[in-house]
Amino acid sequence: MSRLPISETRKKQGEKVEIAGWINTRRDHGKIIFFDLRDASGLVQVVATPKEEKAYEVAEKLGSEDVISINGLVNKRPSENINKEIETGEIEIVAESIALIGKAEALPIPIEGSGYDIEENIRFKYRYIDLRRPRLQKNLKLRAQVVKSAREFLDSEGFTEIETPYLSKTTPEGARDFLVPSRLQKGKFYALAQSPQQYKQLLMITGVEKYYQFARCFRDEDLRADRQFEHTQIDIEMAFVKREDVMGTVEKLITNVTGKMGKKIEKKPFPVLTYKEAMEKYKTDRPNLNKNKGELSFAWVIDFPLLEKTDEGGYTFEHNPFAAPKPEHVEALMKEKDLGNLQSLQYDLVCNGAEVAGGSIRIHEPEVQRQALKVMGYSESRIEEEFGHLLAAYKYGAPMHGGVAVGFDRLVSVIAGEENIREVIAFPVTSGGQTSVMDAPSAANPEALKDLGIKLEKEEKK
């Protein structure tokens, strides 16, 4: 007999089954022992009576969260004992044999309730226990369903899923890099990719035309409710497109996925605001247009400034250095005129006040890209060092192209109704940057540092 998922037991009335899982709760009624057993599929009531002596002896010693396997008979419950709160509420398992698989000590944190009131450091230290709570189990399953739905949609639209490197060269995304020292080339470093930005643009030059991946992105930036050191984004790039083509594809993707998750969207098609309209009316470029509780309110924001002023009086990128200026503003960029009023082909998607996606049509002409970098203060030598490979690639026939990054953790948290993306990530870092369960960051092995040619400076004692 092979183990049966608990949810399937309701179809097996009158049959003997083997099930396994964790003891959720235990109740003693006289000499009869009742406990609810759970696995990933559901919950079922188990009954142990003195009639089955060996099973009963084991049951007497069992407590909450013990892991057991059971062989028993599936019985129909009397009508007055039916539990309508669970799928298996019409049946119970009469235990004929019970095997203890793993004994559980008293849990360091409770798994009943939401867990919001438990200190974050404690929750994440015992994340493998914290994740047992139903809310988080539901969130993890929701995340998997969103992945599946998004992948099915993009595949059906003719996109090709392609993986790009995590170990790469620094790319300007507005955050610090996580650096990885090279053992083979001592004194040199890789950067963990802040995004696949340049790789996906290079893929457009290969002729792929429609690319996507569920990309891991690494950014050493201050942590908050919607930020982690590493996050996931649905990364998309398309060739031979205009701004509206990309926005339309993303809108279809979002509508398809949220619909399959049973969420209602307040307005379709999504409203479109210019950056100027959003700032004048809502005082933010992430306006919350939501009016109905429980519904999702998406809106596009377009016509962003191409450049923004730096504290030093120069200019830097508003979105990223590759965002294309609006066609009517290319000439002004090339002549360095009226730089503060240039607009880009950037587009951001917001939902209930949170940014869930952002992208742009890219610059695909090497001379325009070089000029944009120059205006942002990059020297010729730095341009060649950091972007020479991209500019060289553009010389061999680059199509117009554009793309978007959908913040996957943010999207799932919005669908789940969670305010913090940590609630939809299996093993997040704390707000202080400490990893779940494993004690990182931690000191490196001295031998490993020696292999890398790294010597740490000693801190002066105060």
Domain final position from 102, 135, 164: 102
User: Taking 80 as the threshold, does the pLDDT of residue 1 lie above it?
Assistant: no
The answer as to whether 446 is a domain residue is no
The answer as to whether 349 is a domain residue is yes
The answer as to whether 325 is a domain residue is no
Q: What is the pLDDT of residues 61-93, one digit of tens each?
A: 999 999 999 999 999 999 999 999 999 999 999
User: Taking 80 as the threshold, does the pLDDT of residue 173 lie above it?
Assistant: no
Same domain, 98 and 204: no
Confidence of residue 20 (pLDDT cuts 50, 70, 90): very high
pLDDT of residue 45: 97
Tell me the C-alpha distance between 316 and 329, whole Å.
17
**Considering only 18-22, 63-67, 224-228, which range has the smallest mean pLDDT?**
224-228
Tell me the C-alpha distance between 19 and 435, whole Å.
34
Same domain, 56 and 142: no
CATH number at residue 285: 3.30.930.10
Which residue is it, tokens 């996906």? 200
Tell me the C-alpha distance between 245 and 326, whole Å.
15
The answer as to whether 333 is a domain residue is no
Same domain, 89 and 159: no
For the chain, give the mean pLDDT.
Answer: 95
Confidence of residue 345 (pLDDT cuts 50, 70, 90): very high
Domain final position from 67, 102, 137: 102
Same domain, 134 and 58: no
User: Taking 80 as the threshold, does the pLDDT of residue 206 lie above it?
Assistant: yes
pLDDT of residue 457: 85
Which residue is it, tokens 């003195």? 50
Domain final position from 52, 87, 102: 102
The answer as to whether 309 is a domain residue is no
The answer as to whether 370 is a domain residue is no
The letter for the amino acid at 154 is L
pTM for the structure as a whole: 0.92
Confidence of residue 316 (pLDDT cuts 50, 70, 90): confident
CATH number at residue 56: 2.40.50.140
Confidence of residue 212 (pLDDT cuts 50, 70, 90): very high
Same domain, 17 and 144: no
- Across the range 290-306, mean pLDDT stands at 94
What total of structural domains would you count in the chain?
Answer: 2
User: Taking 60 as the threshold, does the pLDDT of residue 312 lie above it?
Assistant: yes
pLDDT of residue 170: 76
- Residue of 353, 368, 334, 330 whose CA lies nearest to 419: 353
Same domain, 224 and 158: yes
- Residue of 192, 232, 233, 225 whose CA lies nearest to 430: 225
**Residue 190, SS3 per DSSP:** strand
Confidence of residue 224 (pLDDT cuts 50, 70, 90): confident
User: Taking 80 as the threshold, does the pLDDT of residue 460 lie above it?
Assistant: no
Same domain, 152 and 216: yes
Tell me which residue range forms the domain holding 172.
125-304+344-364+399-424
Same domain, 287 and 412: yes
Summary count for the chain: helices (H), strands (E): 12, 18
Confidence of residue 313 (pLDDT cuts 50, 70, 90): confident
pLDDT of residue 458: 78
Same domain, 144 and 33: no
| Per-residue buried b or exposed e for 191-217, using 16+ beta carbons within 10 Å of the residue's own CB | bbbbbbbbbbbbbbbeebbbbbbebbb
Same domain, 160 and 81: no
Same domain, 66 and 137: no
Confidence of residue 461 (pLDDT cuts 50, 70, 90): low
Same domain, 183 and 221: yes
What DSSP letter does each residue of 37-93 carry, written as one string? EEETTEEEEEEE-TTSHHHHHHHHT--TT-EEEEEEEEEEPPGGG--TTSTTTTEEE
User: Taking 90 as the threshold, does the pLDDT of residue 174 lie above it?
Assistant: no
Give the whole-number percent of the chain exceeding pLDDT 90. 90
The answer as to whether 281 is a domain residue is yes
The answer as to whether 319 is a domain residue is no
